Amino acid sequence: MSVNLFKLFNFCSFSRTNHLRLLLKPCPGSKFHQCLSTEIIKSEETNNEVVTNEEQTNDVGVPEPEKRVMRKKPYKFMLDSKSVEPSHTSIILFPGQGSQFVGMGHDMLDIPSVQKMFETAESILGYDLLELCLNGPSDELNETIHCQPAIYVTSLGAVEKLRVTHPGVVEACVGTAGFSVGELAALVFAGAFSFEAGLRLVKIRAEAMQKAAQHVPGGLMTIKFGPDARLSLACRAAVEWCISRGIDQEHAVCSIANHLFPHCKVIGGHEEALKFLEINAREFGIKLTKRLKVSGAFHTQLMRPAKKVFKEALFKTPFNELLIPCYSNVDAQVYRFEKQIHQKLPEQIYKAVKWEQVMCQIYRRPEDFQFPKTFECGPGNNLLSILKNCNFKAYQQAKSII
């Protein structure tokens, strides 16, 4: 599949007198957004010859690259004299675990490339992912080992749907980010690695996280609070409560797992810690608590055991140069080096998702500046709800694709 695509560059620097300046540089359509194809593209030295993915896999199911060359220079998202109105560009966001629902993916099955994605997923995962997405049961779909691959595939399938329903939007994308497992979809979309490689990483990540979750009972809980809330004290008190109940100090965990928007965060930790906060919420200025449909205390120290196996698989995964800016959950900064992906992506498993900070970075601009169109590609509309609370003007130009 060949599309007339362009390499678009960073838009973080603005002035009140100049429009957003982007360098438009033609690049081969077959090398951009490898979620389009289940084939691996060789380097230009082989005259762009297409070969099927028949590489040998190692014991964790990841293809062994023929040769690894670490980038010494940062990925460049340069500025140029050609002006492009921000309203003519787009931002694409990918949701995370908790957004899944039975029936997701149904409205994109008439797109051939999406059908191919699900066929490829079945061969990699060893089960019929499409059947699980369409018909459930919900308890099985909500399991970490199933919902993470399901969200990943349907999110990239939504990109293909976006191509059909909104021509030119994908090619006009100037930035991307994904929430938790959605960051892997964002990196694939940005060109970091292929659809197949990304799915293998998601599979390994999901299995490692579910194993860690089964070792210690835990969960996640959304909280809303006022300016007088004492969250740090609440978390410390919850930890002390766990220890008093005979829980090992290593497992007595309670901390912020997700920064969503002002006065709203997700707390993760041991099951006893979450129960403590639910009972004593008012004492700490917490106005509302709501449990999330996840099976573990993701993005907390209880997930640290999952880091090692994922990091090993990530290091063995072939990388490509990023073609558009992709923002990290760990520090809300754009990935500039392959080394940064190796470092931050495994850390993301047990560190807080700084989504509120990511939104601030992506949409930071002068008050009188226009915003790009935003598309949430994947199940649900959780990210658009967060965007509405972070930046209402940007939200007014946003739409969900599923």
DSSP 327: B
Question: Which one is the CATH code of 217-296: 2.40.33.10, 3.40.50.300, 3.30.70.250, 2.40.30.170?
Answer: 3.30.70.250
| Active-site annotation holds for 180 | yes
Catalytic residue among 90, 180, 194, 255: 180
Q: Does the fold of domain 217-296 match that of domain 5-212+306-401?
A: no
Q: How far apart are CA 55 and CA 267, in angstroms?
A: 41
Q: What pLDDT, on the 0 to 100 scale, is given for residue 83? A: 56
Per-residue pLDDT of the chain (402 residues; tens, 9 = 90+): 333 333 333 333 333 333 333 333 434 333 334 444 433 333 333 444 433 444 445 554 555 554 444 444 565 543 333 457 888 899 999 999 989 999 999 999 999 999 999 999 999 999 999 999 999 999 999 999 999 999 999 999 999 999 999 999 999 999 999 999 999 999 999 999 999 999 999 999 999 999 999 999 999 999 999 999 999 999 999 999 999 999 999 999 999 999 999 999 999 999 999 999 999 999 999 999 999 988 899 999 999 999 999 999 999 999 999 999 999 999 999 999 999 999 999 999 999 999 999 999 999 988 888 899 999 999 999 999 999 999 999 999 999 999
Token representation of residue 84: 């492009």
Give me the residue spans of the domains in the chain: 5-212+306-401, 217-296
Phi/psi-derived region of residue 180, left when phi > 0, alpha when psi is between -120 and 50, beta in every other case: left
CATH architecture of 5-212+306-401: 3-Layer(aba) Sandwich (3.40)
DSSP letters, 57-113, are B-TTS-BPPS------S-------S-B--GGG-EEEEE--TT---TTTTGGGTTSHH
User: What pTM was computed for the model?
Assistant: 0.83
Q: How far apart are CA 308 and CA 88, in angstroms?
A: 42
| Active-site annotation holds for 299 | yes
For 36, 112, 238, 266, the CA distances from 282, given in Å and listed in that order, are 50, 52, 14, 16
Q: Residue 57: beta bridge partners?
A: 63
For 36, 40, 48, 49, 170, the CA distances from 45, given in Å and listed in that order, are 22, 14, 7, 9, 27
Task: Give the pairing of strands 90-94 and 254-261.
Answer: unpaired
Query: Among 200, 178, 125, 194, which residue's Cα sits nearest to residue 344?
Result: 178
Judge whether 219 and 255 are in contact, CB under 8 Å. no
Query: Which helix (H) or strand (E) is 145 found in, with range?
Result: helix 144-165
Catalytic residue among 270, 299, 328, 400: 299
Q: Residue 173: beta bridge partners?
A: 90
Query: Which helix (H) or strand (E) is 130 found in, with range?
Result: helix 129-135
Token representation of residue 172: 């006009």
